[in-house]
Amino acid sequence: MNTRSSKYIGLFIALALVLIPTPVSPAQPQTAASPQRSLADVLETITPAVVNIAVRSRDPAESNPLYNDPFFRRYFNLPEQRQRMSAGSGVIVDADKGYILTNHHVVANAGEIAVTLKDRRRFTAELVGSDQATDIALLRIDAKRLTALPFGDSARLRVGDTVVAIGNPFGLGQTVTSGIVSALGRSGINVEGYEDFIQTDASINPGNSGGALVTADGRLVGINTAIIAPAGGNVGIGFAVPVGMASAVMKQLIEHGEVRRGRIGVAVQDLTPDLAEALGIGETHGAVVGSVDRDSPAARAGLQAGDVIVAVDEHRISGSADLRNRIGLAPVGSQVTVEYLRDGSRNTLALRVEPEDGNGNVSSMPQALEGAHFQDAAGKVVVTGVEDGSAAARAGLEAGDVIVAVNRRPVGSTADLAASLKEVTGTLALDLFRDGMRLFLVVR
């Protein structure tokens, strides 16, 4: 064979080696990539579950009963009562029963609530119940062919997860925006509220309140409720109530028409690094028991001042606000399992949640403070409401005030406040914080 022929044979062999496919090893089977569902397809399925809510309410300036008397109105030549219209959003969560979750502030003081579906059907909604502390309300409509949003697990959300906000911004109609989870466990927006907000940069504007925050696979993880808007519009900081909290409120609203909050009888504070070092523990999260109310569930179960609560029903407690949320939303009469640290050892006990006295009202209220409502909040006493025209209102007390002392005697719970008020025989002096400033309110 000459040299030229041998070169062609070598070239043919080389080409054959390149072109012949390499056999696939049985140990490494080839798999086909599963097709990923597009966001547009997901939205097409879930957007019918998000509704527009129109609320008709009367002007609060004309709440005097005399305004309802036609002779009084005619005699003083008063104009007809004005009606205010406001718009928000809601989420259908039970298609069979017509239940719709929204915000308390969307339907507060509503005279009439109208719900418009994506297919333009319009219904008058019944208010099942509303809870100001969590800003959650539940409506019901009598309608067929509804679409409900499935619940996701808000406890499993992570910063960076993709989320979509669906609502009715500025009354324009249904709008969809997307973003990510920016932070979790946000609080401090409303001092007397129960807060565990999901923060997102998905655009949320006025009118989005009560709308849905959903994951990329179409599951409801939050009810959009608040924005930080210095200029009146979205600046990339929005907040949603986790669906875990909203569903707990919904169950109580369905059963009782209101949220019946419980207590275990402890005043707590956040576990800070300095406090953890002083207590000689390695934990970085938890709630430190500052005091235990006498004859309370906590006292009967054996909790003591200085114990560090680290978990409730196997849910890790991040701080005092987290503990307050867990206990405050637990059904009254239910049993919770508390895990705590004492003297370097980890212990567990079970205790029963009992109702708050008078739903947060302090018994033996002095006449000068009648009309005020109080609630425990992270080792302090918060004024949750003051009735218009009441003695407490005339004394200058306001909702949101945080009372820290009565006649110079520190108070850390409503039980402390009640005990201190019983001992007051003359002038009442309240040390309190209002809008970040410390005030001294003298009540006679």
Residues assigned a catalytic role: 105, 135, 209
Q: How far apart are CA 67 and CA 79, in angstroms?
A: 10
> What is the CA angle 99-104-109, rounded to 5?
105
Widest distance between CA atoms in the chain = 127
Q: Where are the alpha helices (DSSP H) in 78-160?
A: 104-107
Which helix (H) or strand (E) segment holds residue 328: the answer is helix 320-328
Give the E-state strand segments of 147-250 in sequence order: 162-167, 175-186, 197-200, 212-215, 220-227, 238-242
Q: Where are the alpha helices (DSSP H) in 217-315?
A: 243-256, 273-279, 297-301
Q: How far apart are CA 312 and CA 285, in angstroms?
A: 13
User: Any idea what DSSP says for residue 369?
Assistant: G
Torsion angle, alpha carbons of 383, 405, 312, 157, to 10? 60
Q: How far apart are CA 311 and CA 325, in angstroms?
A: 12
